[in-house]
Structure formats: C-alpha cells, structure tokens
Amino acid sequence: MSDTVTIIPKFDVFLNFRGVDTRRNLISFLYKDLVRRKIRTFKDDKELESGQRISPELISAIEGSKFAVVVVSVNYAASPWCLDELVKIMELENKGLIKVLPIFYGVDPSDVRRQIGKVAEQFKKHEGRKDQDLEKVLSWRQALTNLANISGDCSLKWEDDSKMVDEITERISKELKIAKPRRGGSKLVGIDAHMKAIRRKLNLKSKESVRVFGIWARGGNGRSALAKFVYENISQNFESHCFLESVKRICQEDRHMSDLHEDFLIRTQGESLSKSMLKNQKVLLVVDDVSKLEQFDALAEDFNNFGPGSIVIITTQDKLLLDSANIKGRRVYEVELLRFHELRRQSRFKERDISAEFDLSLYRV
C-alpha cells in the first residue's frame, strides 16, 4: 500500500521576519517589489486568514519555497515564532532543499553570530522562563549561528532601504531564472512532487562518499522520463555528470559490457576523461533502464572512484536487481505507476487535439 503524498503549494520566496520591527517598513517594501516582479512570495499576514492555526500552513509554505529571506532585526531573537521557523528553514537548507538569504536589519551580523548584546539578553529570557524546553532553545541558538555564517546583506552598510531592496529582489529574480527547472519531463503528472521527494532522498549537500540510489517503476517510458528530468534539474550541482540512457538496449546490440565503461567516460561532460581525473570530482551518473546485474557491475569500478558528494542513480523495473546490488530501503524511490498527459494531433482531416491520459499515479516515497 503506497503512502499518501500531499502536493504542497509552491512559492518562490518565504519571508521570515519579526513583524513589530519590520512589517511596516522593510518587509512592506520588499514584499511589494517581489510581487511586482511576479515572484510568488509567502508573507504570513497575506496568505493566512485570521483565526487559522498558523503552524501547519507555515511549515507547508516553508517546505514549498525555493528561497527563504530571513530578516534578523533588533527584536528577532525575542520571538519563539521566528526562531521555530528559522529552525525549519535551516534544516531544509542543510539538506539543499532551500536557499537562504539573510538580511541583518539594524543589527551587526557578528553580534548575531557570537550571540552577544541584545541577542544574549533575549536568549537569557527564553532560558529563564518556566517550563521552557532548554533543548529547543539550544536548537534556536544553533540555527541562528548557522544563519549568521551565511553571507548576507546588512542594512548598516546601505545608504537607504530602497537600494538594498532593489538589489535583493534583482538577485532573487536572476537566480530564479537560472534555477528554473527544465520541463523536459513535464508531461508526467505530479512531476514536481516526484522531484521534491527524490531531492529529499538525495540530499545534494551531503559530503559522504559516493552514494547509489535506485528508481524503480513499471513502464520504461515513464521511468526514463522521470530519470531524465531528475538529471536535468540537479546536474548543475556536480563538477561532472553523465546520463547513460537505454542501457538495456545498448547491451542487446551485441556490445561488450566494457563498452559501457567507454560510453560513460566519453559522455561525461562531452569529453573523454580518465578515471584518475574523476577520482576527486563530485560526479552525477544516471544509468537508465538497467536490466542485468552485470550492467551495474560494469560501471561499479568507475563510480567507486568518484569523489565525496557523488551520486549514482540506477533506474530499473527489476526490484530484485536493486536488492542484489545492495540498493535498499531509503536508497530506493518506488514509483508504482506514472500518469502521462500526451497531446496528439489527429489526422489532417481533424484539427482538434486529443488528450490521452494513462491513469498511473501512485508512488511510494
């Protein structure tokens, strides 16, 4: 039985701020400028109706955002609400699921990093409250320290807020255009939900040695489309990358298994590379439509030499193959069924489009 997956509404930017300090000045200007640029922005008093329980909606909004703009102001650290949001934001940032842009508004970033002055006083009050969970306070402190270690903007270095807002919104706008996902797999229904779930598994910020993941699904077309979409959307995070397609077909063409090794080296960034050149590199290798363990083994010698942070993704319709290759548990993304939207033009005698849907939508995370 598959897990239920909730598709979260998407935002480009989530604003984390202390309202009493910034709602009527910086945040007001920043929000208006972001919206003017058609950047989808979540600001709590704009998106949530009065009386709603805010926490679940906020968590969903944070998880569904590409950027988090965190505005640290004079009274920011006095707010448990702001700090709870920050813990969630930094947890996602650590997994590579969100990009964080700090703004230090009327405060010195070094004071925030060292937690001295006003920040120290505010944390002392938190710790002095009855029934206060001290472990939670510790998580707030760590999140704030991690935030302050990220390069951000400091209002004390700008002549006025408007120029700082212009620069920040321009930067976000440019980064959104660069990071806009390629839509080659957009005919797959629920592709964004699949992509987000797979990103969680991959943890692109990991510095571990090479990790191998599997994508299992019935139906070669859907599986290949999903694998290609994943590859196109994460390959920019790697020094070298390669998509080996239709491995099953290649091996049916009377080619030797060693040819896979040659194909990989030739296709990696479009040039012939030696194993020694890849040894210390962060590499992405996606091997599509693997049908035999021998095909996996033929490439294992290569990817075992990849550098820290490297990822190998194997796609197959054979679950036993993944088990035999020791790719199990959370390292496998199971797609029970996929659904395609396909627009086909009828014959030249009929000018209307037909929408054909294949109702194949359940998947496990």
Lowest mean pLDDT among 7-21, 135-149, 235-249: 235-249
> Would you place residue 233 in the very low, low, confident or very high pLDDT band (cuts 50, 70, 90)?
confident
| Model pLDDT, residue 207 | 87
Q: Residues 150-189, buried b or exposed e (16+ Cβ, 10 A)?
A: eebbbbeeeeeeeebbeebbeebeeebeeeeeeeebebbb
pLDDT digits (tens, 9 = 90+) for 197-213: 999 999 998 889 999 99
In DSSP notation, 123-144 reads HHHHHHSTT--HHHHHHHHHHH
> Would you place residue 243 in the very low, low, confident or very high pLDDT band (cuts 50, 70, 90)?
confident
What is the Cα–Cα distance from 14 to 62, expressed in whole angstroms?
A: 6
Residue whose C-alpha is closest to residue 288's, from 260, 269, 266, 308: 260
In DSSP notation, 42-59 reads E-HHHHS-TTS-HHHHHH
Question: What phi and psi values does residue 340 have, to the nearest 5 degrees?
Answer: -105, 145
3-state class of 334 per DSSP?
A: strand
Residue 146: other Cβ atoms inside 10 A = 18
Active-site residue set: 85
| Model pLDDT, residue 219 | 66
What is the Cα–Cα distance from 16 to 250, expressed in whole angstroms?
A: 51
| Model pLDDT, residue 11 | 85
- Find the mean pLDDT for residues 81-88: 92
Residue whose C-alpha is closest to residue 113's, from 87, 136, 147, 80: 147
pLDDT digits (tens, 9 = 90+) for 311-365: 999 999 888 999 999 999 889 998 876 666 544 443 343 433 333 333 333 344 4
Query: Judging by beta carbons within 10 Å of its beta carbon (0-12, 13-18, 19+), is residue 254 exposed, middle or buried?
Result: exposed
